Structure 1
Amino acid sequence: MPKTSSKVTDYELGTSPVHPSQTHKVDFNIPNRVCGCDGALSSEAENLTLFPGERWFLAYTAPYREAIAKTHLGRQGFRSFLPRYVKTVRHARKMRDVIAPMFPRYLFVALNLERDRWRSVASTTGVTNLFMMDDRPVPVRQGIVETLIQSADTAGRLRFFESLEPGQKVRLIAGPFAQTLGILRKLNDTGRVEVLLEIMGGGVRVRLPRSSVELAV
């Protein structure tokens, strides 16, 4: 636990969605920190509600071509979902927030195999192929994509929450103090948290969105 200094500085940080654990392994088990839907569907969820006979299928894209694939699929009339999150990156001593795919090189496509010309998906610009078995696309297990969609904002960015309690060690994952460890001091009902950091020998108390911290392990 960081030493508590008599010199404490307060900061109020803006909103910035949290990122999941960064990995290129695709795991479609829903993380427990994906927030549940509050009963009201976002415009993203409303637009991606499946029609009778449709299922979600997995498309594999060329490197860094997820957004291009989504655009070209849309031009052909296919609906697709690309889960994304905001992460903080460092470049040339500067930090900035970027929107990145949650599952690099993957996106989900809604298809009715009896109605749609699904083979044209694999020839779409940016798409490498569909996930297949026995020469047929394999549907994603029901409930996985639906949960991701309901947990996304209007831009398709996922919202994540950890089960946090005061006194726990946490890591900031966005903003000027990204990747800094601290101790969670307070949580409130408005979705804000207070974290005590130790920087340059002084205590820095920051208040920021709950979605901007994750439990340090």
Structure 2
Amino acid sequence: MNVELGPAPPCGRALEEGERWYVVYAQPHCETSAALHLGAQNFRTFLPLLSKTVRHARKSVAVLTPLFPRYLFVVLDLNRDRWRAVNGTRGVASLVMYGGTPAPVRSGVVETLLASSSPEGEIRFEMAPGSRVRLVDGPFAGQLGVLRDLGRAGRVQVLIEMMGSYVAAELGDRGIVPAFGAWERPRSADRPVVPTTSRRADIARRQKAQA
């Protein structure tokens, strides 16, 4: 979804004791709506945005879109805040949970994104030749590659991994982001899984045998 720029997000101050960043899974195309309605309840949120070039009325237009579609971050103190209210907020599907409670984001992840963002939430990464990147714009969006050279006028050269080899391509510098690794894009498959009853019994037997 296209995102209109608004006031600077109120998420820049440091976390207080007991506060952590958590992941909110939004309803389709409702990331901005979820952030606005959470903010209206005095929850601090962060929606990382990425600039992409799209074709509109035969013109190329730069728009801001969520870096992680359907995901945003919220600050919570589980002992202080009514965190269940997040799940009932317009635009929110649910918090990412583990064992019945919200699962915190690994320390440093959101802080790194915040340090690389503009007041509007746009993420601008600094990358050097040799960095592994993921293409986020154009016909090769989603492909992995290696940054070969930083050109002039906002152009970069990338070696795209394709069919076991590398293909050189030149594109705009806003068409790539670092290939972060496991936390690059939260997915349902990445969510913590609570062991089933049989699995818990198996774990208990193993722990007893090792005792």
Shorter-chain TM-score bucket reads 0.5 to 0.7
- Label 1:123 to 1:48 Cα distance change in 2 as closer, same or farther (>3 A): farther
Whole-angstrom CA distance in 2 between matches of 1:76 and 1:157? 23
2:114 aligned with 1:126, yes or no?
no
Q: Identity of aligned pairs, percent?
A: 44
Whole-angstrom CA distance in 2 between matches of 1:138 and 1:195? 37
TM-score under structure 2 length normalisation: 0.59
Alpha-carbon displacement from aligned partner over 1:148-196 (angstroms, at most 9, x marks no partner)? 011101111000233138xxxxxx989xxx88xxxx88769xxx66779
Q: CA deviation at 1:49?
A: 2.1
Q: CA deviation at 1:93?
A: 3.1
Gaps of 5+ in 2: 1-7, 140-147, 158-171, 178-211
Q: CA deviation at 1:90?
A: 1.9
Higher relative contact order (CA 8 A, sep 6+): 1
The corresponding residue for 1:147 is: 112
TM-score under structure 1 length normalisation: 0.58
Equivalent position to 2:128, from 158, 163, 167: 163
- Matched length: 149
2:76 aligned with 1:111, yes or no?
yes
Whole-angstrom CA distance in 2 between matches of 1:173 and 1:140? 23
Whole-angstrom CA distance in 2 between matches of 1:107 and 1:61? 8
Equivalent position to 1:72, from 8, 15, 37: 37
Gaps of 5+ in 1: 1-42, 166-171, 197-208
2:104 aligned with 1:136, yes or no?
no
| 3-state SS, counterpart of residue 47 of structure 1 | coil
- Label 1:213 to 1:102 Cα distance change in 2 as closer, same or farther (>3 A): closer
Between Structure 1 and Structure 2, which shows a larger proportion of helix residues?
2
Task: Note if contact 1:44-1:153 (Cα within 8 Å) is conserved in structure 2.
Answer: no
Whole-angstrom CA distance in 1 between matches of 2:175 and 2:82? 43
Q: CA deviation at 1:124?
A: 0.4
2:41 aligned with 1:50, yes or no?
no
Task: Note if contact 2:129-2:150 (Cα within 8 Å) is conserved in structure 1.
Answer: no
